[in-house]
Amino acid sequence: MSFRQLNNAGRCINIGKYPSDKMGVNVWTESILERDLIHRLEYDPNVASYSTQAVRIFFELDGTRRHYTADVLCERRVGRPQIIEVKPKKKLSPWFLQVYRIITLICEREGFEFVVYTEFEIRIQPFLDNIKCLWKYARTPLYPSHQVLCYEFFSSRPEASLAQLVEFFVRRQVEKQVVLALLYHKILSIDLSVPLGADSLVRYQSSSTTSNEEASSC
């Protein structure tokens, strides 16, 4: 396993750092599309860990020894580890497709799943915008008392609007940010397949489970 040094020299890429709550470190990304994928991996409960630019694969094509560096290595709780390529649809040329077929066979032989994600798989809306919004509150401190409030509020109702829940917390001197953090960490569930708003319906989950909306995660 080898690592690639990220830099802007000679290439038009957007290098950035993603402050990962799941990994506890800054994760380097090379494009906005790659950063969008990281948002999804960060939120997906089936993703145990991930890293970028972590695997280099050597292969031969047209009589020449070449190498491929994966965009993301993803370890899943259920399923094979994935080697992920992030590529805009318009850049999937016949040459790249040929390379990816070779890479797929190598990965399968080594026990990995090779997948290519384009903007059509990554930027599913409004799911992506919703998790980006909630991600802002991922590091908001949560305490057992906050779950006690959830239990108290939902003990007499199966669901309520986001506005009603926020009002309940604020009346008890707890900021709105805590409610959004509870949503991000799946202590509270909400339908992310529609835009978030004051009327969005919220349910309380006694344990973190995957909602129907998360089934679309990468």
**Most distant CA pair in the chain, distance:** 71
Domains of the chain in start order, with CATH, are 16-122 (3.40.1350.10), 127-216 (no CATH)
**Nearest alpha-carbon partner for 99 in 111, 83, 120, 79:** 83
pLDDT tens string 173-197: 999 999 999 999 999 999 999 999 9
pTM of the prediction?
0.86
Using pLDDT thresholds of 50, 70 and 90, give the confidence band for residue 206: low
The pLDDT, as a whole number, for residue 181 is 98
The pLDDT, as a whole number, for residue 212 is 44
